[in-house]
Amino acid sequence: MDLCTGTGCLGITFALETASSGIPVSGILTEVSSEAAQYAQRNIEVHHAGPFLQLCLCDLFPRTAELQGIWPKHKTALILANPPYIPTDDMKDLMPDVSEYEPHLALDGGRDGLDFYRRILKEAQSILAPGGLLFFEHGYDQGESVPALCGEYGYTNVKCFKDFGSLPRVTAARYTPEEQRGES
């Protein structure tokens, strides 16, 4: 599942790479913006990913009824997300090449930039299979706060990865249900 997919680049690329490795893949891309979803759908079609990817126009997670036809057990092994992460007060200071071309909806992450991470960490627990992985892209200055949130919500094996510029930009975490934490 790729949340906040935008034009679908991350989810489509991951699915295509997985499929080309001979690993069966079935995925959902979610997007709240109907305009961005049009681009994502076009990219799914252009890259012939339709047989294994479905786009859902929704606010983060599809409803259970939508999942029924895709994943009968309503569980996924992996969630990718690049949610809005810029603090609201910082929106006014964005460079014009960002502020003039990116929709406000795709950038504003709330007061501290972490609103979407909190929502995803909470809501993902009902859809991630035990042992499932969650990968977040985040701001370079959130390399401590996003991993800390993952721990606060009970995720385990939390690790932050640096980009090619040596800045912390991606956090990975494993969903371990409370009753399984501490077990070997």
pLDDT at 71: 64
> What's the chain's Rg over C-alpha atoms?
16
CB atoms closer than 10 angstroms to residue 30: 24
**Dist. CA 47–CA 121, nearest whole Å:** 30
pLDDT digits (tens, 9 = 90+) for 98-134: 777 677 677 767 789 899 999 999 999 988 999 999 9
**Dist. CA 96–CA 120, nearest whole Å:** 29
pLDDT digits (tens, 9 = 90+) for 67-82: 666 666 668 899 999 9
**Dist. CA 34–CA 99, nearest whole Å:** 19
Tell me the average pLDDT of the chain: 88
pLDDT digits (tens, 9 = 90+) for 39-67: 999 999 999 999 999 999 999 988 765 66
- Judge whether 51 and 25 are in contact, CB under 8 Å: no
pLDDT at 130: 92
- Residue 16 three-state SS: helix
**Dist. CA 137–CA 85, nearest whole Å:** 9
pLDDT at 178: 78
pLDDT digits (tens, 9 = 90+) for 164-183: 999 999 999 999 887 777 65
pLDDT digits (tens, 9 = 90+) for 131-169: 999 999 999 999 999 999 999 999 999 999 999 999 999
pLDDT digits (tens, 9 = 90+) for 30-41: 999 999 999 999
User: H-helix or E-strand containing 152?
Assistant: helix 145-152
Q: Which amino acid would we find at residue 138?
A: H
pLDDT digits (tens, 9 = 90+) for 83-102: 987 777 776 877 877 777 67
Q: In the predicted model, is pLDDT for residue 184 greater than 70?
A: no
Q: In what order do the strands lie in the sheet with 27-31?
A: 53-57, 27-31, 2-3, 76-81, 128-137, 168-174, 156-162
**Dist. CA 142–CA 66, nearest whole Å:** 33
Could you tell me the pTM of the whole model? 0.88
